[in-house]
Structure 1
Amino acid sequence: MVNRLADATSPYLQQHRDNPVDWWEWSAEAFEEARRRDVPVLISVGYAACHWCHVMAHESFEDDAVAAQLNADFVAIKVDREERPDVDAVYMTATQAMTGQGGWPMTVFATPEGDPFFCGTYFPKQQFTRLLTSVTTAWRDQRDDVLKQGAAVVEAVGGAQLVGGPTAAVTAEMLAAAAQGLAEEHDRTYGGFGGAPKFPPHMDLLFLLRHHERTGSAEALELARHTGEQMARGGIYDQLAGGFARYSVDAHWTVPHFEKMLYDNALLLRVYTQLWRLTGDVFARRIADETAAFLLRDLGTPAGGLASALDADTDGVEGLTYSWTPAQLTEALGEQDGAWAADLFRVTPAGTFEHGASVLVLGRDIDSADPSLVARWQDIRARLLAARAGRPQPARDDKVVASWNGLAVTALAEHGVLTDSDPSRAAAVALAEVLADRHVVDGRLRRVSRDGQVGEPAGVLEDYGCVAEAFLAVHQLTADPRWLRSAGELLDVALARFGTGSGGFYDTADDAEKLLTRPADPTDNATPSGLASVCAALVAYAALTGETSYREAADAALATVGPLIGGHPRFAGYSATVAEAALTGPYEIAIATNNRTDPLVTEAYREAPGGTVIVAGAPDLPGVPLLADRPMIDGRPTAYVCRGFVCDRPVTTPKELIARFQR
């Protein structure tokens, strides 16, 4: 057996390097080997922090007998869905077409041409071995039926990926319908939308916050506030160290699926930062600060960039690091403080998780409590965190994904300017440097790097959108023209290489590896759709430069998802968020000043609606179009507030500036 995963950049593939399975990485050579041997292909797709991927690996891929059967009758390909979202998207569409559902691990049997003919997700060992036998028999004895099945699945996948459907320009009425649709699905007891399992609806919350700002809708704000509070008081939020888990297995956010993903926490950092900006809620501010600290402390990598995830499991046991019994609290804190903590965190003898253990939840409001109680709570948190540090810790997937780091840059930049956090501001710039210097190669984005070395997988559309949006956030943070120029270069590639010709976008470039079909999914999933992220950057770039062709491209692309926004807002939250900014203008604010900490700058960030572009710097700063021909009046910092490149008269006081944003 050849160990082909030993030099893989993916931590997920590295997890399988010592399996007795003769794994191949995704490559043309793997499919050529299947053709040479005349055997079907097993494509196994997962990611490093996935609990059930670990279970299937332990049960089947680490088993010598199962491996022997696989090696004899198949070519086995292991794929990290986070490195190759294009491969994942194509075969997930096939899996959903065949089974009506999807998930990871994803298990696909395909012809040597890559055509899937049987798809599923997790299979227990005995079922998996029976399946291997059945597929082998069918391949040998019923080849024509297998090939027909594969052709039918490929046709279904192609149909699901068709572009050029109905379009409708996004209107205020459409966004109102989206907000109403979310209100109708809102869980009025526990927050969120729909039932268990519940995922953090970060993109929908960002939309609702912007909708509130534009329309004054108290209901939209309350939906976001209530959901944000319920999540952050639940077990899905790490009450000791900060950071959110991937999802809750129940409807009340108590027991999470324990992996912590960079993208969730980046998007939720934006939610809680904006929630605090709009409400002044000290609880939202604390969650924002702790989430930012979690990103930098627990996901920072020695070579720069933020790691992708913390694992769901510790030593093969889900939640081992995070759950507590009353006895463990007493051991760590003593009798009196242990009992107090058990009451506060709702740790009971029966437990809320497994084996009598509980996941910590915040049982009552503590942020607004008496200062002595707050001090006691902070002391107990610190002592419990120290005790928890002595436990085995979850593994970390330390690859750096371009789009997810782009999301983090934007979030940290927002948090930095709004809360006056120097660590967040510095981290946003440093992360942008990593993306620009390491992930942009010959003008094109690479998706991943690890240990300072960039990987081979090409960037997909979401990488271009999220990184361009990040560069624009850093341009506004620093007034450095480099970032505006770099964002424009990425957007030019996106428009030239990813466009469908009918306003929308494909998820892969026109010169990317050819798969069964060229994916073009406009819906949000765990992260913003590539289309939505590119639109966000296009709208901001047009506002910062005055180059209207980029705005026209954004409007055309948003029109392709207009019906989706109005009819299925839970799957188009980020597109709706961008559409809110576009409908607002967005505002363009230039502040001519030699002091970027002037109150005029601070109030612009605090009071301007979400999606506003703001640049503060010296008048006529070279390479910064928004500051061109913007003099200071009487030597004082001066703000120019514009919409659609039409400007009000300049103002020099925070009070005058705030008046510009009144509805």
Structure 2
Amino acid sequence: MNELAQETSPYLLQHADNPVNWKAWNTNSLSEAKEKNQLIIISIGYSACHWCHVMEHESFEDDLVAKTMNAHFINIKVDREEHQNVDAVYMKAVQIMTGHGGWPLNIIALPDGRPVYGGTYFRKEEWINVLEQLQELYKTNPEKMIEYAEKLHKGIEAISIIKKPTTNTILAQNVIVPLVEKWKKSFDLEFGGMARAPKFMMPNNYNFLLRYGFQTNDTELLDFVNLTLTKMAYGGLFDTIDGGFSRYSVDMKWHVPHFEKMLYDNGQLVSLYSNGYKLTKNPLFKEVVEKTLQFISRELTNKEGGFYCALDADSLNEKQHLEEGAFYVWQKVTLQELLKEDFELFSEVFNINDFGFWEHENYVLIQNKSLEEIAAIHQIKESELASKKKSWETILFLEREKRSKPRLDDKCLTSWNGIMLKGFVDAFKAFKDENNLTTALNNANFIIKNLWSSDGNLFHNYKNGISTINGYLEDYCFVIDAFIGLYEVTFDEKWLRHSKQLTDYCLEHFFDENSGFFTFSSNLDEALIAKHYETEDNVIPASNSVMANNLLYLSIYFHNAYYEKIARLMLQNSIANIDYPSAYSNWLLTFLNFGEQNKELAICGQDALKYNSILNEMYLPNIILAGSETESNLPFLKDRFKKDETLFYVCQNKTCIVPKNNFEEVSKELKFNN
């Protein structure tokens, strides 16, 4: 029978009525396969995955397919967002077998879990044919399958091995120069981003390029990042009506998105646009942040302060059929009826023309000119046009609310909550909206209350008061990073103590002395067919690169040489192996924190928070901040407080200059001398 009705994952629950006898990924399911000596089907996807839904409808809802699957296989359905470790290992297998990967991810494995066949989306007839052939082969010649599984398993293990560095040579910062020059050749100088489609936003890429361009006075880089952020905000990728970004664009101009909205994208993009605003003061960037945070608060926040995962790409159309993008697209006649005499001007702003046309008489709103340009053409004030644009968006928002909304994935993942928490913190730094700090603190307390056990471990998931999965490295690294961010804006040292406690837990249960890196899964979890080390930065930065940066920060705050040593060795091994820099952008950001331009600033005295607020509004990515309004025992601040005086300690390479009490002089010390 189908057992998924017992689960909390929205993705698994979507399959609870399938005629397939699905089981969840757990010890009992895997043991049953061994006991019955049956092949395993491991089908991996996530709730916002369009092609996962297509394969479900075509195959997993079909009685003939279910009959084939149920007769000979143990069928396990996996939510990749809940079990990234399982997904990562079997994704490596499929990439070895086929040269590519994606979702849905479908694996056929031996009863012990070692894969023998795999792929992504299968059509119904193809899927039945594959299963029948594999079952017949396992029945008549199992030795051949076992031999292949052994070879494939060795291949998976080989690409999972990380060798510990054999030298302690410290890399010079100038190794970044040729990497960035190589990277520039991939830039799309018309629409921003990389010159290819589909286009993923890769926020960490642009956080690095923004900082590196700033620190090196590279105006070409700064202009490119500004272009990219502008064009992404103009594109259909950004929901100008309700806020929030879709996952990626299928075209070169950021126009037509794959319409699902993911929490992890929006959390990182809020941080990126907040940083961009601090440097440029571009009001468009502020608008993007404000709209996105309003969207998160309205659509992806629960009553306890936790953040939900995603909104699906598909929603019900007028015929009550699920259709990708149905909630978001517009037809010309509808817009004419809603906007009346303003339609022509609206059409020029949002390109209800060939540039903005998608398919099937549908338009996806996209800008390609600034309001300033359009206002000049029509000889009206820019402020008047901005007011009209806001009014149009309100009209469309109210109309769109009448439609069936995309399906909500209402589970909470600890890692993604940490990312979004950091987004609210970074927005507070840039814009000083107290609501953002309140939301961040509420979410931090939600994590502590519901996702941090009395045994010291984090859980990975939460829904309906239940957490079932032990935390992964990414849960720890992003929560630690977010808590450090909370300390930077509040100077409340409990956030650093929490960060240190979680870091020490990681060193005990995730750190692998042989490789010098952290494994993705805890040593308390049941081992998979191969260890997984997450070392390449993707749309979400690698958990190891985030941990390296956390260790550096905490080594400064707590004067912990061991933390710094581990971070340096991790960084050294990663930087030395960079081939394409876009896959190591967070490592490169961490590398900059070890650079000569990086400084630490301690503010001690009754006005510490006042000056901290001023500094956080500035774009100073090379400054690590600490401070206290009272006497502190934090090692970095110890014995630096003097009553009735606010002192500034500027430090670099473990050396601090004489403390100053003049903020203007200190500001000069923090500037670059380029």
Shorter-chain-normalised TM-score: which range? over 0.9
> Does the residue aligned with 2:268 lie in a helix, a strand or coil?
helix
Q: Deviations over 1:476-532 (max 9, x none)?
A: 222222211110011112222222214222212223211010111310123111101
1:385 alignment partner in structure 2: 397
Q: Secondary structure at the match of 2:614?
A: helix
Amino acid at match of 1:630: R
Cα separation, 1, equivalents of 2:170 and 2:5: 50
CA change 1:396–1:170 in 2 (3 A) is: farther
Structure 2 CA distance for aligned equivalents of residues 158 and 187 of structure 1: 37
Conservation of the 8 A alpha-carbon contact between 1:70 and 1:132: yes
Q: Residue type of the partner of 2:571? A: L
Partner of 1:499: 511
2:655 maps to amino acid: V
Of the three residues 604, 609, 614, the one matched with 2:620 is 609
Q: Indicate if the aligned counterparts of 1:304 and 1:452 stay in contact, CA closer than 8 A.
A: no
CA deviation profile, 1:143-192 (whole Å, cap 9, x unmatched): 22211121111111001101116677443122223322321211111211
Residue 401 of structure 1, CA deviation: 0.9
1:20-71: CA deviations, max 9, x gaps?
1110111222222223333211000001111111111111111122111111
Q: 2:565 aligns with which of 545, 548, 552?
A: 552
- Give the distance between the partners of 2:152 and 2:420, measured in 1 at CA: 37
Letter in 1 for 2:37: D
Find out whether 1:363 has 2:364 as its counterpart: no
CA distance 1:520–1:83, change in 2 (3 Å) = same
Instruction: Say if 1:258 and 1:313, in contact at 8 Å, map to a contact too.
Output: yes
Q: Distance in 1 between matches of 2:164 and 2:229?
A: 35
Give how far 1:626 is off.
3.9
Question: Structure 1: how far apart are the matches of 2:622 and 2:262?
Answer: 25
Deviations 1:444-469 (A, max 9, x none): 11111112322x22211111111111
The residue aligned with 2:671 is 662
Residue aligning to 1:535: 548
Runs of 4+ that moved beyond 6 A: none
**Matched AA of 2:369:** R
Preserved CA contact (<8 Å) 1:161 1:521: no
CA contact (8 A) 2:311 2:409 kept: yes
Equivalent in the alignment of 2:379: none
Partner of 1:184 in structure 2?
185
- Write the distance in 2 (CA, Å) between the matches of 1:310 and 1:584: 43
Residue 480 (structure 1) aligned with residue 492 (structure 2):
yes
- Aligned-partner Cα distance in 2 for 1:227–1:608: 19
Q: Tell me the number of residue pairs that the alignment of Structure 1 and Structure 2 aligns.
A: 656
Deviation, 1:553, is: 1.4
CA–CA separation in structure 2 for the residues paired with 1:332 and 1:525: 41
Residues 411 and 178 from structure 1, CA distance in 2 versus in 1: closer, same or farther, beyond 3 angstroms? farther
Matched with 1:304 is 305
* Identical aligned residues as a percent: 32
> CA offset at residue 602 of structure 1?
2.9
Q: Secondary structure at the match of 1:133?
A: helix
Q: Is the 8 A contact 1:591 1:640 kept in 2?
A: yes
Distance of 2:649 and 2:419 partners within structure 1: 28
- What is the distance in 2 between the residues matched to 1:367 and 1:182? 32
> Normalising to structure 1: TM-score of the pair?
0.95
* 1:424 matched residue in structure 2: 436
Q: What is the rounded CA distance, in whole Å, between the counterparts of 2:171 and 2:310 in structure 1?
A: 35
CA distance in 1, matches of 2:577, 2:258: 29
Q: Any idea what SS the aligned residue of 2:4 has? A: coil
Find the partner of 2:587 among 557, 568, 575: 575
Which of 322, 325, 334 is 1:319 aligned to? 325
- What corresponds to 2:128 in structure 1? 129
2:648 to 622, 639, 642: 639
Supply the AA of the counterpart residue of 1:295. Answer: I
Equivalent-residue separation in structure 1 for 2:133 and 2:596 (angstroms): 58
Report how far residue 538 of structure 1 moved: 1.0
Q: How does 1:107-506 map to 2 (within 5 A)?
A: 107-164=106-163, 169-315=170-316, 316-334=322-340, 336-348=341-353, 352-366=357-371, 370-441=382-453, 442-454=455-467, 456-501=468-513, 502-506=515-519
- State whether residues 278 and 619 of structure 2, in contact with CA within 8 Å, keep that contact through their aligned partners in structure 1: no
- For residues 407 and 350 of structure 1, the distance between their equivalents in structure 2, rounded to whole angstroms, comes to 34
Cα gap change, 1:561/1:197 in structure 2, threshold over 3 Å: closer, same or farther? same
The one-letter code matched in structure 1 to 2:418 is: G
Q: Which amino acid aligns with 1:628?
A: K
| TM-score, structure 2 normalization | 0.93
User: 2:575 is aligned with what amino acid?
Assistant: G
- In the alignment, structure 2 segments of 5+ residues that lack a partner are 317-321, 376-381
Cα displacement (A) at 1:593:
3.7
> Structure 1: which amino acid aligns with 2:78?
V
The one-letter amino acid of 2:187's match is H
Query: Residue in 1 aligned with 2:70?
Result: 71
Counterpart amino acid of residue 612 in structure 1: I
8 Å CA contact retained: 1:636, 1:652: yes
The answer to which of 134-143 and 570-579 deviates more is 134-143
Amino acid at match of 1:434: F
Cα-to-partner distance string for 1:87-137 (whole Å, 9 max, x where unaligned): 001000001010000000000000110010001001111211222222222
Residue pair 1:42, 1:108 contacting (<8 A) in 2 also: yes
1:650 is the counterpart of 2:659 = yes
Q: Let me know the Cα RMSD of the aligned residues.
A: 1.9
Question: Does structure 1 residue 93 correspond to structure 2 residue 106?
Answer: no
Shift of 1:436: 1.7
